[in-house]
Amino acid sequence: MSIHTSRAIQIDQHGGPEQLKLVQITVGEPGPGDVRIRHHAVGLNFIDVYHRTGLYPMPMPARLGMEAAGVIEAVGEGVTHLQVGDRAAYASPPPGSYCELRVMPAKCVCKLPDAISFETGAAMMLKGLTAQYLLKRTLPMGGLHAGDFVLFHAAAGGVGLIACQWARALGLRLIGTAGSAQKCALALANGAEFAINYAEEDFLARVKEITAGQGVKVVYDSVGKDTWDKSLDCLAPLGLMASFGNASGPVPPFAPGILGPKGSLYVTRQTLFTHMSTRESTQAMADELFAVVSSGQVQIHIAQRYRLEDVQQAHRDLEARKTTGCTVLTL
């Protein structure tokens, strides 16, 4: 068995960005169902912050990162959808994509179309597949149709800018929120029909005004604690509250009884990897993402690049709301 080495980012305990340490790891041969992939670029995601801080606890020591793109170097027994030399990209557990080389399960690794660069692949898989399952699979009663209003928080972020463009392609009237005038302009330039600076404006009042008091069919909420209460009041009767993140902190416990008087609302807490539980569902979702990106309906905006060894700064900037669009770590 040949042994390879790779630089990787590891934490020995949960905590701040200072816990992110550059280490040298050894990488072996893929077992059954695994591949060895040599990364060309790595994606940065807010879930990496939750893994680092311990909001989503992990056994120690732990590697971070859930997204990357590169070339398949070795294929384990039973893997049929990938071959040595294939260009590939993924959003996948277990965490550990902040590295040059790794062995990992092949199930969520997809062949990357030649027209899509490694950097774009690394930037878009986790965020783009999230936008896909939200807008196509996380739907209110009766579904979403062209002309329907949806509210999407953090619309100028990684998931947000992709969702703005994809919603426009679907004919949805997306109302985006973002934390500055510049971010609002970015959301509007990417397909949001309205953008609300929730650092300055009352987003509930604005949503009521925009929808002539009717409310929206769905709220896609990854901000969590800070936006939860008002988001429920933005919904039309029988509307869907789709919670999918906690950038401002987790949503506190609530009593289901409050949903009745607000209009018999539906509430769900979604996670990407439930939707990617099989190879078939993963590939079907990825094919849709590849199609909208290849056609130009969705552009992947990489607004920040950091070297792998500068990952502490990347985490600081992401948490400080200094980033827009997607961020990649270069190797």
Ligand X SMILES: NC(=O)c1ccc[n+]([C@@H]2O[C@H](COP(=O)([O-])OP(=O)(O)OC[C@H]3O[C@@H](n4cnc5c(N)ncnc54)[C@H](OP(=O)(O)O)[C@@H]3O)[C@@H](O)[C@H]2O)c1
Q: Is 259 left (phi over 0), alpha (psi -120 to 50) or beta?
A: alpha
* Least distance from ligand X to the Cβ atom of residue 213, Å: 25
Using DSSP, state whether 47 is helix, strand or coil: helix
Interface with ligand X, residue 319, by CB under 6 A:
yes
Contact 164, 176 (CB under 8 A): yes
Residue 56 CA, chain-centre distance (Å), reads 15
Interface with ligand X, residue 272, by CB under 6 A:
yes
Residue with Cβ nearer ligand X (74 or 219): 219
Closest CA to 39 of 4, 72, 12: 72
DSSP-H helix ranges across 69-221: 118-137, 158-169, 181-189, 203-210
Amino acid residing at 293? V
Contact 75, 82 (CB under 8 A): yes
Interface with ligand X, residue 178, by CB under 6 A:
yes
Cβ atoms < 10 Å from Cβ of 173: 18
Contact 131, 245 (CB under 8 A): no
Interface with ligand X, residue 179, by CB under 6 A:
yes
Q: Of 2-10, 72-80, 246-254, 286-294, which segment contacts ligand X by CB under 6 A?
A: 246-254
With CB under 6 A as the contact rule, the residue among 65, 95, 96, 157 that binds ligand X is 157
Q: Which residue has the tokens 């590891």?
A: 10
With CB under 6 A as the contact rule, the residue among 34, 140, 245, 304 that binds ligand X is 245
Interface with ligand X, residue 135, by CB under 6 A:
no
Residue with Cβ nearer ligand X (27 or 276): 276
Residue with Cβ nearer ligand X (72 or 126): 126
With CB under 6 A as the contact rule, the residue among 92, 222, 231, 282 that binds ligand X is 222
Interface with ligand X, residue 51, by CB under 6 A:
no
Q: What are the residues binding ligand X (CB under 6 A)?
A: 45-47, 126-127, 130, 154, 156-160, 178-179, 183, 222-223, 226, 244-248, 270-272, 318-319, 321, 323
